[in-house]
Amino acid sequence: MELSITNDILVGADIIESPNQNARPDNTDIELLVIHNISLPPGEFGSLAIRQFFCNELDCNAHPFYGEIAGLQVSAHLLIDRQGAITQFVPFSNRAWHAGESEFCGRGNCNDYSIGIEMEGTDFEPFTESQYLSLTAVTKLLLAAYPAMSADKIVGHSDIAPGRKTDPGPHFDWGRYRQSLAS
């Protein structure tokens, strides 16, 4: 898969624009990359439910869990599915609504200055080889495109919202991922 970033869009990704976004505060550099996991319904992969959720189109009667998330307005910049396919929901220049109440190095409101990537998965099982390959490729592009971002500013959702969030979870291989960025 050939990827590039042009005008804050990941060329090579599917583009589905989420309404759950807005402008970043003026003069805000993109500095932080936040890795998440998501599956809808929980523990199930391959449905269209994540896309529908990020676009406020999820049928909350289609699964009992969906009632718990009804009315939430959530998005991420990117979703990487189990096959490594990438969907972009929010241009990198805009603020996606992925981090919620969060703090990095004493600075709150991480959505203001971060990019959020959702990995289709759970806290309870490993991610796929294809996902790591796509995540590495995208991360290298982001680091090149946004100079205020650096390898030491790549975190999990659990790092910026401890006690509230656990993703990307214990099966996300941080060592492997960080080593792949160095090669």
* Choice among 31, 44, 57, 118 that is catalytic: 118
Mutual angle of helices 129-145 and 174-182, in 10-degree steps: 50
Active site residue 118: yes
Give the chain's radius of gyration (CA, Å): 15
Peptide bond into 25 cis (omega under 30): no
Amino acid, single-letter form, for residue 120: E
How far is Cα 141 from Cα 7, in angstroms, rounded to an integer? 13
Residue 110 CA to chain centroid, in angstroms?
13
φ, ψ of residue 96 to 5 degrees: the values are -85, 160
Q: Look up residue 29 and give its two tokens.
A: 């550099």
Q: Which residues are catalytic?
A: 118
